[in-house]
Structures are given as structure tokens and as C-alpha cells.
Amino acid sequence: MLKHEGTYYLLYSGSGADSPDYGVGYATAKSPLGPFTKYSGNPIVRRGSGVFGPGHGCVVKDAAGAFWHVYHQQRDEARGWNRFLCIDPLWFDKDGVLHGQATRGTPQPAPAVR
């Protein structure tokens, strides 16, 4: 869970974790105790462009204040537990909508450190 501009964002993974269709969605509330409302655009992190089964992660904030999603992906479309660790950015748009994208083999800057 993370808090952004007075709103709590509860991230969750759905579908079977051994599936290439596993993905990440979120729900929001004004209190960490809820009630929560699911975002209608879920999942925000999903299968596509050579990515299979992204999910089951956490959010960290780097020294520059950027959010990062640390999660795992399935290596291929086969069901099973052939997963590996990933890290990709998460970001908010001007309307407070949380966005994420799972990548594979895409060079990007590392999280900022102090």
C-alpha cells in the first residue's frame, strides 16, 4: 500500500501466480482501513510485449522520490513456477491514476540513491 496526495493505493495481484495472465491492479480509499474501490482500468501491469505473468510485488521509493515496482514475471507462457525478479517504474498522472508497465530487456535508468 502507498499513500499519494491523501489517497491510499492498495496494490494486489490477480489470477494464478503460476499463470502467464497474472497481473497487478489497485484499489483506492481515503483511509488505510478502507473501504476500497477498485480502479476500473485494472490491471495496470499485465501480460504483453514478451512479458508473461507480472505480479506479486512491492513498491519502493528512491532517493529522488520516484516509485519503483519490484515484482516477478513468468519466463514464458507455460504454467508453472519459472519466475524471475524485475523492477520497473510506477507513476501517477495529474488525475492521481497510478500507472505501471512491465518490461523485459528494456534498458532504463536505475533508481536514484543517496
Domain count, the chain: 1
- pLDDT of res. 74: 95
In tens, the pLDDT along 65-96 reads 999 999 999 999 999 999 999 999 999 999 99
Confirm whether 112 is domain-assigned.
no
Q: Do you find a cis peptide bond into 43, omega within 30 degrees of 0?
A: yes
Whether 109 is in a domain gets the answer no
Residue 92 within a domain: yes
Q: What is the pLDDT of residue 106?
A: 84
Minimal CA–CA distance to 2: which of 44, 74, 51, 58? Answer: 58
User: What confidence score (pLDDT) does residue 108 get?
Assistant: 84
The answer to whether residue 114 sits within a structural domain is no
Residues of the chain with pLDDT under 70: none
Q: Which three cell numbers stand for residue 43?
A: 490491471
Q: Give pTM, 2 decimals.
A: 0.92
| Residue 96 lies inside a defined structural domain of this protein | yes
Query: Is 105 contained in some domain?
Result: no
Residue 111 resides in a domain: no
Residue 76 lies in a domain: yes
**pLDDT value, residue 43:** 97
Domain span at residue 80 reads 2-100
Q: Which residues of 75-87 are buried (b: 16+ CB within 10 A; e: fewer)?
A: eeeeeeeebeebe
